[in-house]
């Protein structure tokens, strides 16, 4: 029944949204090239594409965040210029951003009315919003405590506040940018229930994602973007994940990594009852224990924010902790003088951090200055006890650039002028070429183009085959499954379960990621 009405609406005359010839460039980069798109009223339309394909830019134009260089926007068949977000809101468009635009120390109500207040005084607006929220919660399964401050809400609930904000402004068209990136599988399921609910009430939804599974499950129609262009728009029922992947990348993709079975040796890293508190005193790691052996990759899976970052920071010497960590039977200092990054490196730990632009690189430093970053004490980079040997570092960097195919191979360029993939290769080259006993690597392919992903995966596997221990943290379950030999799933600062990769599957790991207790098979 419901399905029939959806299909009926697909053929309606005036589309809810129509874009004609949208073009936008940032300096020399053409983010959107002559893009046209029609989305019918009362449907869920997916937009897929790789990082940097131009999805977010396109939606920011639709939301009035950027002004297009050329092109027209039609809402419900009427030409509607959208010079700013206010115009978008007036046209009935709402947006749920990937990074929530919430004021963390405001309550839910305050966030909902911000910018949509009814008068100069807050009291009446707050009262009205309270009433509206009750209605919306009942209608769309969007329950959330209106008086709670945002920082005390779970990520899933914060996202509901974003949706409520849009609905409070009476949005008919809702754009969601990578909405599941921070959600557990069960939270994501709930979200999609809400979205279908909204669609059945006549709302139009645009779902931006790079996860093909979500597209297949949740959308009615789908468009594919590649390098700023819209390469196809099809009915979801008429396509397959394989076809979409090919359209996204422009060629057949190897989704699995070729690797030999692991030849594990002795235990390199042994973690016992590790606990970490953040600066606000909240416990982020609640006593975790695991080990990693030589010649194996241990993957840490989990939804972002469940303690993986803290784990890497402790092992990498950025944060202090309590508990016990042993490397090659040597007890590490977790709080004192020798708990810093230098001491960790001296113990044979290399660390490719999750956020390379914030931690792994100095963006204004030249490539060669970055290539010795963290190892600037190494005797081979010193001319004498006081001076660094810049010539030696330059030569060393040139070699690294060659071996890791870093482009452009110019060590004198600042880090910010390299692409994401090449930046990551600079970090990887630096850390892998140290020949560490254990490599910590976080989100190795985030924001990296497909070509570089394969290369980076090969390098990690090669290091494993050379008998090194590797601790891999990734929020991409596919990446975890294709690289690691064992998987530990983190949830709420604990290890929820540990599995041999070959003996588990996505479904089981998904349940663990959601905090369910699953008996090992």
Partner 1 sequence: MELTETFLQLILTLDMTVRLSVVLILACLAGLFSERAGIVDIGLEGKMLIAAFFSAVAAYHSGNAWIGVLAGIAASMTFALIHGIASIAYRGNQLISGVALNFLASGLTVVIGNAWYKEGGRTPPLAGEARFSEITLPFADLIRDLPVIGPLYADVISGQKAIVYLAFLVVPLTWWVLFRTRFGLRLRAVGENPASVDTAGISVNRQRYAAVLIAGVLCGIAGAYLATSQAASFGREMTAGRGYIALAALIFAKWRPFYALMACLLFGLLEAISNLYPNIDVFGIFSIPVQFTQALPYILTVVILAGFIGKAIPPKASGEPYIKER
Partner 2 sequence: MDKIPRWADIFLVPFINLVLAFAASGLVVLAIGENPFDAIYYMIRGALGSTSGLGYTLYYATNYIFTGLAVAVAFHARLFNIGGEGQAAVSGIGVAVVVLAFDWPHWALALPFAIIGAGVMGAAWAFIPAYLQAKRGSHIVITTIMFNFIGAALMGFLLNGILKNPNTQNAESIGFGPGAHLPTAHEVLAPLGIAFSKSAPLNISFLLALLCAAGVWFLLWRTRLGYQIRAFGQSEAAAKYAGISSVKIIILTMLISGALAGMLSINVVMGEQERLIKEFVEGAGFVGIAVALMGRSHPFGIVLAALLFGMLTQGGFELLWEMPAISREMVLVIQALIILFTGALDNMVRDPVEKLFRRIRKGRI
Alpha carbon of residue 409 to chain centroid: 28
Name 105's bridge partners: none
Backbone dihedral angles phi then psi of residue 26, each to the nearest 5 degrees = -110, 105
* Piece in contact with partner 2 (CB under 8 A), picked from 65-73, 148-156, 171-179, 360-368: 360-368
Task: Tell me if residue 476 falls in helix, strand or coil.
Answer: coil
Do 468 and 439 touch, CB atoms closer than 8 A? yes
For residues 215-241, one letter each, b for 16 or more C-beta atoms within 10 angstroms of the residue's C-beta and e for the rest, the string is bbebbbbbbbbbebebeeeeebeebee
Judged by CB under 8 A, the stretch of 40-48, 102-110, 192-200, 507-515 that binds partner 1 is 102-110
What string marks each residue from 398 to 437 as x (binds partner 2 by CB under 8 A) or -? -------------------x--------------------
387 near partner 1, rule: CB under 8 A: no
Distance CA 229, CA 243 (A): 17
Nearest distance from residue 364's CB to partner 2, in Å? 5
Q: Which long-range contacts (CB under 8 A, 24 or more apart) does 208-211 make?
A: 208/46, 208/47, 208/48, 208/55, 208/56, 208/59, 208/175, 208/176, 208/177, 208/178, 209/46, 209/47, 209/48, 209/178, 209/179, 209/180, 210/48, 210/49, 210/50, 210/51, 210/178, 210/248, 211/180
- Confirm or reject binding of residue 178 to partner 1 (CB under 8 A): no
We find the least distance from the C-beta atom of residue 380 to partner 1, in angstroms, to be 38
Q: Closest distance between partner 1 and the C-beta of residue 425, in Å?
A: 22
Total of residues contacting partner 2 (CB under 8 A): 32
Of residues 2 and 387, the one with the C-beta less far from partner 2: 387
Given candidates 79, 101, 383, 412, which one binds partner 1 under the rule CB under 8 A?
A: 101
Of 329-348, binders to partner 2 (CB under 8 A) are 340-345
By the rule CB under 8 A, 69 interacts with partner 1: no
Distance of alpha carbon 394 from alpha carbon 142, whole angstroms: 57
CA distances from 383 to 352, 367, 390 (A): 27, 20, 8
Question: Which does residue 369 bind out of partner 1, partner 2, none, counting CB within 5 to 8 angstroms by kind?
Answer: partner 2
**Judged by CB under 8 A, which of 103, 254, 462, 500 binds partner 1?**
103
From the list 61-69, 266-274, 312-320, 325-333, the region that binds partner 2 by CB under 8 A is: 312-320
Least spacing, CB of residue 451 vs partner 1, in Å: 22
For residue 408, say if its preceding peptide bond is cis, omega within 30 degrees of 0. Answer: yes
- Which of the listed partners (partner 2, partner 1, none) does 443 bind, with a CB threshold of 5 to 8 Å by partner kind? none
Residue ranges that bind partner 2, judged by CB under 8 A: 27-28, 316-318, 340-345, 351, 353, 358-365, 369, 373-374, 376-377, 382, 386-388, 390, 417
Residue ranges that bind partner 1, judged by CB under 8 A: 26, 63-66, 84-89, 95, 97, 101-106, 110-111, 113-117, 119-123, 125, 165
């Amino acid at each position: 029944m419901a399905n029939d009405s959806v299909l009926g609406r697909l053929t309606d005359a005036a589309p809810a949204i129509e874009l004609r010839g949208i073009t936008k460039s940032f300096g020399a980069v053409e983010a959107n090239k002559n893009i046209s798109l029609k989305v019918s009223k009362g449907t869920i339309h997916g937009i897929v594409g790789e990082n940097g394909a131009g999805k977010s830019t396109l939606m920011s134009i639709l939301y009035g965040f950027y002004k297009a260089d050329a092109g027209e926007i039609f809402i419900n068949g009427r030409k509607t210029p959208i010079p700013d977000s206010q115009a978008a809101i007036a046209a009935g468009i709402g947006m749920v951003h990937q990074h929530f635009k919430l004021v963390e120390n405001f309550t839910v109500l305050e966030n909902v009315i911000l910018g949509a207040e009814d008068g100069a005084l807050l009291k009446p607006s707050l009262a009205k919003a309270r009433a509206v929220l009750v209605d919306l919660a009942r209608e769309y399964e969007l329950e959330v405590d209106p008086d709670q401050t945002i920082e005390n809400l779970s990520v899933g609930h914060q996202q509901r506040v974003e949706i409520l904000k849009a609905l409070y402004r009476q949005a008919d068209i809702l754009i969601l940018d990578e909405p599941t990136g921070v959600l557990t599988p069960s939270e994501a399921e709930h979200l999609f229930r809400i979205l279908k609910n909204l669609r059945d009430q006549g709302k139009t939804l645009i779902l931006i994602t790079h996860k093909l599974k979500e597209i297949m499950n949740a959308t009615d129609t789908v468009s594919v973007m590649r390098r700023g262009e819209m390469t196809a728009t099809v009915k979801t029922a008429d396509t397959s994940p394989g076809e979409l992947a090919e359209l996204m990348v422009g060629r057949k993709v190897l989704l699995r990594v070729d690797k030999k079975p692991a030849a594990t040796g002795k235990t390199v890293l042994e973690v016992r009852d590790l606990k970490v508190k953040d600066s606000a005193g909240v416990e982020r790691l609640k006593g975790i224990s695991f080990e990693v052996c030589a010649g194996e990759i241990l993957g840490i899976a989990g939804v972002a924010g469940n303690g993986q970052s803290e784990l890497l920071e402790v092992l990498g010497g950025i944060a202090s902790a309590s508990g016990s960590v042993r490397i090659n039977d040597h007890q590490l200092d977790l709080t004192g003088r020798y708990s810093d990054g230098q001491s960790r490196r001296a113990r044979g730990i290399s660390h490719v951090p999750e956020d390379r632009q914030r931690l792994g690189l100095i963006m204004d430093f030249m490539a060669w200055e970055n290539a010795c970053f963290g190892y600037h004490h190494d005797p081979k980079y010193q001319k004498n006890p006081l001076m660094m040997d810049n010539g030696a570092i330059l030569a060393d960097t040139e070699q690294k650039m060659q071996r890791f195919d870093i482009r452009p191979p110019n060590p004198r360029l600042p880090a910010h002028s390299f692409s994401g993939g090449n930046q990551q290769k600079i970090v990887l080259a630096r850390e892998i070429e140290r020949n560490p006993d254990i490599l910590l690597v976080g989100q190795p392919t985030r924001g990296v183009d497909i070509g570089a992903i394969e290369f980076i995966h090969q390098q990690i596997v090669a290091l494993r085959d050379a008998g090194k221990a590797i601790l891999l943290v990734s929020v991409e379950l596919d990446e975890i499954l294709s690289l690691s030999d064992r998987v530990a799933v983190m949830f709420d600062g604990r290890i929820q379960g540990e599995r041999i990769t070959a003996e588990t599957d996505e479904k089981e790991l998904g349940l663990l990621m959601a905090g369910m207790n699953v008996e090992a098979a």
